[in-house]
């Protein structure tokens, strides 16, 4: 299994909703990442988990809350989002750290109304 699986593929939510994005990999990777990608822009790093501990938070607003329950799962909890948070949210994993190949999921396309 060489896949990173993200669910849901599409999500529409209101500004008062609470939702979660999920990411799963079974490659034995110990580093997992959340990226945000706006249309026609490169992905921007949000969070990095290394061995289930948060190692990088790129000054992301607290309305985004990451969680790594175990080495195979990564969640992104969303609460009180703004319309400008609408984007493609990409999860990625690598064997141990960033100096290795990242494998990306296909993303969750999020629309905030």
Chain positions contacting another protein, by CB under 8 A: 4, 6, 33, 40-43, 45, 48, 56, 90, 92, 97-99, 101-107, 109
Q: Which one, 45 or 80, has the nearer CB to another protein?
A: 45
CA dihedral 103, 50, 25, 69 (to 10 degrees): -150
CA-to-CA distance for 71 and 40, rounded, in angstroms? 31
Q: How far apart are CA 21 and CA 67, in angstroms?
A: 10
Nearer to another protein, 92 or 110 (CB): 92
What's the length of the chain?
A: 113
Instruction: Report the nearest approach of another protein to the CB of residue 80 (Å).
Output: 27
Q: Give least dist CB 55 to another protein, A.
A: 8
How many C-beta neighbours within 10 Å does residue 19 have?
A: 17
Nearer to another protein, 53 or 101 (CB): 101
Shortest reach from residue 67's CB to another protein, in Å: 19
Looking at the Cβ atoms of 79 and 103, the one nearer to another protein is 103
Contact (CB, 8 A) for 92 and 4: yes
Neighbours of 99 (CB within 10 A): 8
Residue 16 beta carbon to another protein: minimum distance, rounded to whole angstroms: 28
């Amino acid at each position: 299994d060489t896949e990173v699986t993200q669910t849901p593929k599409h999500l529409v939510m209101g500004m008062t909703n609470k939702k979660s994005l999920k990411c799963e990999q079974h490659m034995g990777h110990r580093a997992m990442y959340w990226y945000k990608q706006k249309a026609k822009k490169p992905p921007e790093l949000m969070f990095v988990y290394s061995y289930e501990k948060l190692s990088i938070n790129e000054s992301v607003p607290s309305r985004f809350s990451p969680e790594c329950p175990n080495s195979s799962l990564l969640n992104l909890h969303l609460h009180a989002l703004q319309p400008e948070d609408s984007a493609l949210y990409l999860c990625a994993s690598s064997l141990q750290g960033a100096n290795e190949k990242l494998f990306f999921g296909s993303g969750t396309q999020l629309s905030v109304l």
